[in-house]
Amino acid sequence: MLVGDPLSKEELQQRALELLDLEGLEGPERCEAFLNAAKMIRYGDPKLMVAFAEYAADLADELDPEVYGLPVVVDCRCRTMIELGNAYRVADRLEDAGEALGEAADLWYQGSHDELVMARLVDCQASFYADRRQFALALAALDTIYSIYEQLGDTHRAGRALISKGIYRGYQGEQEEAIQLLEAGLAKIEPQLEPNLHFAGVQSQAYFLAILGRLRDARKLLWGNNFPTEVVEAPINRLKLLWVESVIEAGLGDPQRAEAGFQEVLRGFEKEKLYYNGALAGLELVHLWYRQGQMEKVREAVAGLVKIFQSYHVHREAFLALTLLEKAVERGIEAEVILNQVTDFVRRAEMQPELKFEDWFPS
């Protein structure tokens, strides 16, 4: 199971001991310990997360049904395959993730039909569908998760489902609904349990408020929430926070600070190979320069975004939309309406792969 993992079993156990106490743990409890270790380092080391989950799956395969009972063994194997599938997803090994989650579903039907295990499975499937850009399936899964956790009285996890749904709905262009979902989800969660979840919910709500023009509400929301230093300083989180702050600065009258922020965000996303997020931040910069009449900078920025999408084959339909914008600014056409349309299209296109350029911009 430890495909491509350079660490031996002894090394894995030593790394796990740095995170938790394994003394006296055997059988299913030891499997669970390695799954917990995998979850603990998710944001810091996806490769080690995969290694821990793979090792837990190996341990689960070795469990003797005659010692622990068949239902216990099957349930344990199911849980390990769920977490292994999620670890593969986080590590961007989507084909492996799909296979592991499919195996987990088969095991669930063979086991004790534990509702909490099913909820976790559907939760991970929702994230998998989202990474595959199958957002209709992801949203349906989130509705299922929310219902399960509400029935079980697990308010925090029900809130997490609402936050995920709010983020997806916002990027589908339904920002008002997204803000309501995020507000409801944030009211249900316990921030100290998942500070990264709390950050994602607040940052997303502030972003959607900002792009709707509710800039002071967005700023008030950010100022009213404190996040742990390690959460804010995580590279992607820092870029997303700076992105929202720059949108707010651009709208409330500090264009120099906004420009510097957008440029840093654009460079940061490109460094992280998050080209789509970089394009959205780049379009915010284009809006800023367009309002200032700096057309040469607008032309250079749009041409740069087109080149990135072309070089990395990021998204065909969004690439066509950016090309249309590039032609408009090159020809000196009044491009504000086109810029707004292209920005809206690019925001939606990643979350709605079915959107077609020719339908959005009829000739």
Alpha-carbon distance of 78 to 60, in angstroms, equals: 9
Closest CA relative to residue 305, chosen from 333, 276, 331, 327: 276
Q: Give residue 351's pLDDT.
A: 72
In this prediction, residue 250 carries a pLDDT of: 93
Token pair 């690439």 is at which residue?
319
What local confidence, expressed as pLDDT, does residue 3 receive? 44
What is the percentage of the chain residues whose pLDDT exceeds 70? 92
Candidates 1.20.120, 1.25.40, 1.10.287, 3.40.1350; CATH matching 234-363:
1.25.40
Map residue 246 onto helix, strand or coil.
helix
Q: What local confidence, expressed as pLDDT, does residue 10 receive?
A: 66
pLDDT tens digit string along 109-119?
A: 999 999 989 99
Q: How many CA atoms lie within 13 A of 195 on its CB side?
A: 14
pLDDT of residue 6: 59
**The pLDDT value given to residue 156:** 96
| Weakly modelled stretches of the chain, pLDDT under 70 | 1-7, 9-24, 43-44, 312, 314, 362-363
DSSP state of 234: S
pLDDT of residue 17: 58
Give helix 115-131 / helix 94-110 axis angle, nearest 10°.
160
> The domain at 1-132 falls in which architecture?
Alpha Horseshoe (1.25)
**Residue burial 22-50, b: 16+ Cβ < 10 Å; e: rest:** beeeebbebbbbbbebbebbeeeebebbb
pTM above 0.95, yes or no: no
pLDDT attached to residue 163: 96
Among 73, 96, 74, 70, smallest CA distance to 85 is for: 96
